[in-house]
A and B are shown apart, each in its own frame.
Chain A
Amino acid sequence: MSVITDNTKLGQSRSLRDEMIVFVAMTALLAIVPFTGLYPFFVMQGLCFALFACAFNLLIGYGGLLSFGHAMFLGTAGYFTAHALKEWGVTPELGIVVGTAGAFALAVLTGLVAIRRQGIYFAMITLALSQLVFFIYLQTPFTHGEDGIQGIPQGTLFGLFDLSKPTVLYYVILVGFLIGFLIVFRAINSPFGEVLKSIRENEQRAISLGYKADQYKLLAYILSGTLSGFAGSLKVFVAQNASLTDVHWTMSGEIVLMTLVGGLGTVFGPVVGAFVIVAMQQYLAGFGQWVTVIQGVIFVVCVLTFRRGIVGEIAAYFKRSL
């Protein structure tokens, strides 16, 4: 069994120190964004997708499982959070819990089906499952079909933070992103993450050593799906809507692209990739369908010549692990 990512980790202690330094730098950079005059909406959107990509990367980069249906978690959590906020009038924190719990439940259900096959079949099954979920949302009334749920109230988080203020919202989203990022970071560097990587490298051998590979894969899938849902819930406060685009297979493709561009199996790659692709979409919005073509070209170029991704290439050049 070959391995999907060319990015491998070097010695533990040094790489962990490097990653910590970059993490602090990244956090500092993101923290000063409101003072730089950068369009905060853009950065918040980038942060949501960055978290989504990190969650996705946990599964493919470290578990070797390519899910082509991850949009179902983003979209499900988005719909659940939006519905809870708008129709039930719950507080933001409860809305996030409802959305993330929805994604968790979906991850458990679909995970039990999807991990029954590996490799290429896993990708096809997750894609088909997400299409199933898409059609369900297309038909159930609470999602409002093509219109989506719009005009969602942002509310006051914990009764303290007024989310309708852009700066407050920005820091709340940033904290949410950092929490999610650290969970992924911790998972990668835990004994759980090591076993996951060993299963990716050689599943038969991991099984022969006594590890229950299916349980590890299922756990990684559930963790990844739940965190993707968390990203989807946060995104509702930024975009103030929940629509079918977030459940469509094109979204699943985009998250694969972001992770691939940034670097599969790198810690910071998904974050970089998410910002690159979100920025690209922002600047090329006027080109209509050519954006799809450009995305396709990036896919082709990345797969043929640039499989390590941006961060993977940098890490390889400096012989560090990032």
Chain B
Amino acid sequence: MQALYAQLLVGLINGSFYALLSLGLAVIFGMLNIINFAHGALYMMGAFCAYFLLNGLGLNYWYALIISPLAVGLFGILLERTLLRWLTGLDHLYGLLLTFGIALIIQGVFQNYFGSSGLPYAIPSQLQGGVNLGFMFLPIYRGWVVIFSLAVCLATWYLIERTRLGAYLRAATENPALVRAFGINVPRMITLTYGLGIGLAALAGVLSAPINQVRPLMGADLIIVVFAVVVIGGMGSIMGSVITGFTLGVVEGLTKYFYPEASNTVVFVLMVLVLLVKPAGLTGRTT
């Protein structure tokens, strides 16, 4: 049973990364009509940023948790202002191709300087060790990742669904021209939305750095799984992305325990099944 709980925990952790990343993808898609292929690369940049802060400037994990999403988010804003902006009015698919190119550039540069092996990032001293819950041993850092990610997801949900800014955002997603006519600066909102989505990805990167090591390709395979998560959950609702992300992480964890050979593929198989039964995705609207 110990092993089962351990795998469930790993599943929840992966699920929190899926949730943070698919959340960002959904928000960005809503505003920019772009599927951000560079999301995995920017997640990796978040982890590397934490690594640089620690080893270059001596700033620890807690600083990284704030600085890294801001720095990578700013980089994202730069990308949006200089490159993505030119895609307005073009087919969605060009956005996918452009961000795929950006992902190749970022990953290639990091691979040149850091190879493909992982760089270690220590768990912060306050979160080391674990507690015995009776039925299982819980490493504190892992528990922290799950709870913190959940809190961030809920905060994002609150921001978008319950605040005035979120209301503007949702309105601009539905009809940008009309919202602009009301005197709201939609292009600036688009830029900030992209920054927000990227910030979430970078945050996931920082959280994963002590668990998965810091590697140039850490986001490359992850983003494909996240795409499958997005296809399953649909991009219609924020809560839908979060719940789907966590659920699929848990399902993956369970598969690792009961049938390890299929743990790599289970999300994709589920995607096929969902497409056959409910082509629009679990929460999505038809496109």
Q: Point out residues on A near B: beta carbons under 8 Å.
A: 2-4, 66, 68, 113, 116-121, 123-125, 127-129, 131-132, 135-136, 138-139, 249, 253, 256, 260, 288-293, 295-300, 302-304, 307
Contact B287 A304 (CB under 8 A): no
Taking CB atoms, residues of chain B closer than 8 Å to A296 are 100-106, 108
Q: A3 is contacted by which of B91, B96, B228 (Cβ under 8 Å)?
A: B91
Q: B93 is contacted by which of A119, A139, A291, A304 (Cβ under 8 Å)?
A: A119
B181, CB-defined interface residue at 8 Å:
no
Contact B96 A120 (CB under 8 A): yes
User: What's the least CB distance linking B137 to chain A, in Å?
Assistant: 30
Taking CB atoms, residues of chain A closer than 8 Å to B100 are 253, 256, 296, 299
18 cross-chain CB contacts under 8 A: A2-B89, A2-B90, A117-B231, A119-B92, A128-B231, A131-B221, A131-B224, A132-B268, A132-B269, A253-B100, A256-B97, A288-B112, A289-B112, A298-B101, A300-B101, A302-B97, A303-B97, A304-B83
B211, CB-defined interface residue at 8 Å:
no
Tell which of B170-178, B239-247, B272-280 binds the partner. B272-280
Asked if A300 meets B102 with Cβ closer than 8 Å, knowing A123-B35, A135-B264, the reply is yes
Q: Point out residues on B near A: beta carbons under 8 Å.
A: 29, 35, 83, 86-87, 89-94, 96-98, 100-109, 111-112, 221, 224-225, 227-228, 230-231, 261, 264-265, 268-269, 271-272, 275-276, 279-280, 287
Tell me how many residue pairs across A and B have CB atoms closer than 8 Å: 130
Taking CB atoms, residues of chain B closer than 8 Å to A4 are 91, 93-94
CA distance A260 to B269 in the complex (A): 30
Taking CB atoms, residues of chain A closer than 8 Å to B94 are 4, 303, 307
Taking CB atoms, residues of chain A closer than 8 Å to B29 are 120
User: What's the least CB distance linking A209 to chain B, in Å?
Assistant: 21
Contact B269 A292 (CB under 8 A): no
User: What's the least CB distance linking B99 to chain A, in Å?
Assistant: 9
Give the top 3 A-B pairs by smallest Cβ distance, nearest first. Answer: A299-B101, A296-B104, A292-B108
